[in-house]
Structure 1
Amino acid sequence: MKNKYTYVWVSLVVLVFGIIFVPRIVDRIKSGKVVENTRMNVAQGVDSPLEYITLDGKKRRVPEFSFINQDSLLISNDDYRGKVYLVEFFFTTCPSICPIMNENLVEIQEEFREFDDFGIASFTINPEYDTPMILKEYAEKYGITDMDWNLLTGDSEKIYELANVGFNIFAASAPDVPGGFEHSGLFALVDKNGYLRSRKDNYGNPIIYYRGTIKPSQGENFEGEKEQISILKEDIKKLLEE
């Protein structure tokens, strides 16, 4: 009889739990709260300092560069000294990812417009076509107005060396693809001392670069890759406060 009463008691507890809590769990799932909390728990580096990107055990710094901007002014890495800034490689006639990248950067420009110690450096990978005049027209088209956002052009070999070796961000001439060039669509984040920085991923490794080809409103692309503009904004703020 004792075992029977125990069984009945356990059954009663399970029944009460189901009546009280299961509907609440279902409501949370329907409202998206469970999914939202899961995403928040997965996010890494929200309260931790950003990592330094290293190569052979040494912190990676932005290589020296010197190019002409959309106003025909000579701009070098020295002009970004003491600033947090983003780096991208693009070209004005890009038919695919560049418009999204620069719309995202314009959104970032607006959020950090009041910060004198923030900037952006956009290097064209089609310098033969992208003259200062073309870059100026592109800037006007996209609403690029921040004085510390330079669209840069110059010697193609130096630009490709800067992309593929200096930043390890892929860029190449590719006549067989739409637009004639291939590039990764990534943004590099640089601190005030010229070092490459990023947050860690869910496995404790630096993500190194940030996806620039997915809009925050989109959430993720068809491959399931999540947008990273939101976390990039958070990380810019961290570096500005250092």
Structure 2
Amino acid sequence: MSKNFSKAGILIAILVIPAFIFIFLKLFGNNYYKLPYFMPEMDEHGQVLMKGADTVFHKIPEFKLTDQNGSEFSSQQTKGKIYVANFFFTRCGTICPKLSSSMIRVQDLFVDSPDVMMVSHSVDPNHDTPEVLKTYAKKYDAKDGKWFFLTGDKKAVYDLAIKGYKLPIADASEYDKNIKNVDEMFIHSEKMMLIDKEGYIRGIYDGTFNADVERLIAEIKVLQEIYKDKNNPQ
């Protein structure tokens, strides 16, 4: 019984605390809450890089891919935007439908926020052409200009996942030619990443876990408030 109460308490805390923080910011105006930065940069000796007294944090590198409309999509389009990124593939029958449903929740809640966008990168770019991605986007009611589905050179996508977003990704068929089940072929993360307007990683969430998605939603709102305070100093 005590274990059940403990689990319930943890779940309530995960859901309530971010929402309370956001409400506090809205009511009292002064932002004393800062979202963390993730992925400090390391030198060749594994030591955290510093610039003066400040830690140097990793930024998403520049990239160029192709969206579901066949148009070039580059990192320039994410500059000045808060965005949520994830990795998926259209033939996935396991975690991807859940991830895409979580992205819908974000889209629908921030559909009227021009500073928020979503970016889904295909880990199966040879199959996921712009035409295939466009059909998938329609299936999930993705709004043009709000939620982008990206494909392109496979090496470029995989390098971006591993070196850019610091997420695991692999095509197991490259190592085991006997793998025929597409759900066993592509290995990718279930994480949804919150990226700020400067390209820094500000949150990492399990896109298959409702409580984590709620936390993501709350922290997008907190990040919006942080930028409002920066643009309107007291």
What TM-score bracket applies, with the shorter chain setting the length? 0.7 to 0.9
Identity of aligned residues (%): 32
Q: 1:72·1:132 contact (CA, 8 Å) conserved in 2?
A: yes
1:195 to 200, 205, 208: 200
Aligned residue number for residue 159 of structure 2: 161
Number of aligned pairs?
192
After superposition, what is the alpha-carbon deviation per residue over 1:35-84, rounded to whole angstroms, capped at 9, x for unaligned?
75554457797333110112223211111111110011111111011110
Q: Do 1:109 and 1:146's aligned partners in 2 also have CA atoms closer than 8 Å?
A: no
Contact 2:91 2:182 in 1 (8 A): no
Question: For 1:241, which of 203, 225, 229 is the aligned residue?
Answer: 225
Instruction: Note if contact 2:15-2:215 (Cα within 8 Å) is conserved in structure 1.
Output: no
Partner secondary structure for residue 63 of structure 1: coil
Q: Whose relative contact order is higher, 1 or 2, with alpha carbons under 8 Å and at least 6 apart?
A: 2
**CA contact under 8 A between 1:90 and 1:123: conserved in structure 2?**
yes
The alpha-carbon distance between structure 1 residues 41 and 182, as it changes in their structure 2 partners (threshold 3 A), is closer
1:83 paired residue number: 81
Note the residue ranges of structure 2 that are not aligned, 5 or more in a row.
Answer: 22-32, 43-47, 49-55, 174-178, 227-234
Q: How high is the TM-score relative to the length of structure 1?
A: 0.73
- Deviation, 1:149, is 1.2
Aligned to 1:49: 34
Deviation for aligned residue 1:169: 0.7
What does 1:122-201 align with in structure 2 at a 5 Å threshold? 122-175=120-173, 176=179, 178-179=182-183, 180-198=185-203
Deviations 1:137-183 (A, max 9, x none): 00001111141211011100010000012111111102335422111
Aligned equivalents of 2:14 and 2:97: distance in 1? 30
- Tell me how far apart the structure 2 counterparts of residues 128 and 34 of structure 1 sit (CA, whole Å): 46
Read off the aligned partner of 1:108 and give its amino acid letter.
Answer: V
SS at match of 2:143: coil
Q: Which has the larger radius of gyration?
A: 1
Which segments of 5 or more consecutive residues in structure 1 lack a partner in the other structure? 1-28, 199-208, 217-226
Give the Cα–Cα distance (whole angstroms) in 2 for the partners of residues 38 and 185 of structure 1: 22
Q: Cα gap change, 1:97/1:34 in structure 2, threshold over 3 Å: closer, same or farther?
A: closer
Contact (CA 8 Å) 2:15, 2:214: kept in 1 or not? no
Structure 2 residue identity aligned to 1:139? A
Give the TM-score normalised by structure 2.
0.75
Question: 1:23-42 residue pairs with structure 2 within 5 A?
Answer: 39-41=11-13
**SS of match in other structure, 1:182:** strand
